[in-house]
Structure 1
Amino acid sequence: MSRPRPTGFPGGTSVPRSALTTMAASRRSVLRGMALSGLALGSGGLLAACGGDDSGGGSGEGATVKFGINEAESAGPAYDRLAAMAAAYTEESGTEVSLNAVDHNTFQESINTYLQGSPDDVFTWFAGFRMAQFAEAGLITDVSDLWPIDGLNDSFKQASTAPDGKQYFVPVQYYPWAVFYRKSVFDKNGWAPPETNDDFMALMDDMQGKGVTPFAFGDKDGWPAMGTFDILNMRLNGFDFHMSLMAGEEAWDGDEVKQVFETWRTLLPYHQEDPLGRTWQEAATAMGNGECGMYLLGTFVVDALGENGEDLDFFTFPELDSSIGSDALDAPIDGFCVAAGGQNQEGGKAMAKWLGSAVAADAANNGADAPFIAANEGASTSTYSDLQKKSAEVVGAAANIAQFMDRDTNADFANTVMIPSIQEFLKNPDDIDGVTASIQEQAASIFG
Structure 2
Amino acid sequence: MTTEKLTAFGAIAKTQVNRRVILSGVVGAAAISVLAACTPGGSSGTSTASKTLTFGSGSSDDVPKRAYAAVVAAFEKSSGDKVTTNTVAHNDFQNNINTYLQGSPDDAFTWFAGYRMRYYAGKDLVAPIDDVWDKIGKNFSAGLTKASTGDDGKKYFVPNYNYPWGFFYRKSVWAAKGYTVPTKFDDLVSLAKQMQADGLVPIAFADKDGWPAMGTFDYINMRTNGYKFHMDLTAHKESWDQKKVKDVFDNWKQLLPYQSTNALGLTWQEGAQLLGAGKAGMYLLGSFVTQQFTDPAVLADVDFFPFPEIATEGMDAVEAPIDGLMLSKKGGENKAARDFLAFMGTPAGQEAYFSVDKSNLMTAKGADTSGYSEFNKKLAGVIANAKSISQFFDRDALPAMANNVMIPALQGFLKDGTIDTANLEAQAKALYAAQ
TM-score normalised to structure 1 length: 0.85
Q: 1:144 to 1:123 in 2, by over 3 A?
A: same
Q: Residue type of the partner of 1:45?
A: F
Residue pair 2:318, 2:382 contacting (<8 A) in 1 also = no
Q: Please state how far the C-alpha of 1:427 moved relative to its aligned partner.
A: 1.5
- 3-state SS of the aligned residue for 1:314? strand
Deviations 1:370-397 (A, max 9, x none): 1111110111101112221111101111
Alignment partner of 1:144 is 2:130: yes
- 3-state SS of the aligned residue for 2:117? helix
Alignment partner of 1:326 is 2:311: no
C-alpha root-mean-square deviation of aligned residues, in Å? 2.3
Which residues in structure 2 correspond to 1:264-275 (within 5 Å)? 264-275=252-263
Give, in whole Å, the separation in 1 of the partners of 2:214 and 2:140.
29
| Number of the residue aligned with 1:444 | 429
Which residues in structure 2 correspond to 1:8-407 (within 5 Å)? 45-46=9-10, 47-49=35-37, 51-52=39-40, 63-72=51-60, 75-148=61-134, 149-307=137-295, 309-322=299-312, 324-342=313-331, 345-366=334-355, 368-407=356-395
Q: Please state how far the C-alpha of 1:258 moved relative to its aligned partner.
A: 0.5
Give, in whole Å, the separation in 1 of the partners of 2:301 and 2:350.
24
Q: 1:427 to 1:154 in 2, by over 3 A?
A: same
- 3-state SS of the aligned residue for 2:182? coil
Name stretches of at least 5 consecutive residues in structure 1 with no aligned partner: 1-38
- 3-state SS of the aligned residue for 1:349? helix
Q: 1:143 to 1:198 in 2, by over 3 A?
A: same
Deviations 1:133-162 (A, max 9, x none): 111111110111112334123432221111
Q: More displaced, 146-155 or 223-232?
A: 146-155
Give, in whole Å, the separation in 1 of the partners of 2:376 and 2:351.
14
| Number of the residue aligned with 2:14 | none
Q: More displaced, 342-351 or 254-263?
A: 342-351
Give, in whole Å, the separation in 2 of the partners of 1:54 and 1:230.
38
Q: Residue type of the partner of 1:69?
A: S
Q: Residue type of the partner of 2:307?
A: F
Q: More displaced, 84-93 or 57-66?
A: 57-66
- 3-state SS of the aligned residue for 2:423? helix
Give, in whole Å, the separation in 2 of the partners of 1:325 and 1:337.
32
Give, in whole Å, the separation in 1 of the partners of 2:336 and 2:420.
48
Q: Number of matched residues?
A: 403
Residue pair 1:62, 1:96 contacting (<8 A) in 2 also = no
Percent identity among equivalent residues?
Answer: 44
Give, in whole Å, the separation in 1 of the partners of 2:200 and 2:244.
32
Deviations 1:247-275 (A, max 9, x none): 10112110111111111112100111121
Residue pair 2:288, 2:360 contacting (<8 A) in 1 also = yes
Q: Please state how far the C-alpha of 1:54 moved relative to its aligned partner.
A: 6.6
Give, in whole Å, the separation in 1 of the partners of 2:158 and 2:90.
19
Q: More displaced, 310-319 or 48-57?
A: 48-57
Residue pair 1:218, 1:279 contacting (<8 A) in 2 also = yes
Residue pair 1:56, 1:62 contacting (<8 A) in 2 also = no
Q: Please state how far the C-alpha of 1:292 moved relative to its aligned partner.
A: 0.9
TM-score normalised to structure 2 length: 0.87
Give, in whole Å, the separation in 2 of the partners of 1:54 and 1:297.
36
- 3-state SS of the aligned residue for 2:9? coil
Q: Please state how far the C-alpha of 1:358 moved relative to its aligned partner.
A: 0.5
Deviations 1:385-410 (A, max 9, x none): 22211111011111221110001111
Give, in whole Å, the separation in 1 of the partners of 2:223 and 2:142.
29
Deviations 1:109-149 (A, max 9, x none): 22222211211111000111001111111111011111233
- 3-state SS of the aligned residue for 2:247? helix
Residue pair 2:47, 2:334 contacting (<8 A) in 1 also = no
Q: 1:114 to 1:155 in 2, by over 3 A?
A: same
Name stretches of at least 5 consecutive residues in structure 2 with no aligned partner: 11-34
Q: Please state how far the C-alpha of 1:227 moved relative to its aligned partner.
A: 0.6
Residue pair 1:56, 1:63 contacting (<8 A) in 2 also = no
Q: Report the structure, 1 or 2, having the larger helix content.
A: 2
Q: Residue type of the partner of 2:115?
A: F
Alignment partner of 1:435 is 2:420: yes
